[in-house]
Amino acid sequence: MRWLRLLLVLLAGLLAFLQYRLWVGEGGSRSVARLDRQVQQQTRENAGLQQRNDALAAEVEDLKSGEAAVEERARSELGMIKPGETFYRVVEPEGSTTPATDTPPADDAQAPAP
């Protein structure tokens, strides 16, 4: 009977030790809750950084397409060409003007004289 009590006390002590480790020790429920909070915080931070990265990527795309737009404007309006390209200028004969250039502007569209 004495051995049974000693065994029962030993098992109760082992149960108390295991419960302590489960609730308080390393890898216990408090530790898991703390890690969950850290994961949530890191997820929010990552989402903010992802938005910033997306905005920067969009800005880079705008700058790249803006450069293409500047190049197109330089080609069409200023007649600029790249090295290695050949520029061809098409000149129409003087007698063939389009009707849109022959019509004078309307009276109300003219600017007032200074």
Q: Inform me whether the pLDDT recorded for 1 exceeds 90.
A: no
pLDDT tens sequence across 18-38? 888 777 777 777 788 889 999
Calculate the average pLDDT of the chain: 80
Q: Distance between CA atoms of 107 and 114, rounded to whole angstroms?
A: 16
Least confidently predicted of 5-9, 69-73, 78-82, 94-98: 94-98
Confidence band, pLDDT 50/70/90 cuts, at residue 100: low
Task: State the average pLDDT over residues 47-73.
Answer: 85
Helix crossing, 2-23 with 29-78: angle to 10°?
20
State residue 81's pLDDT score.
84
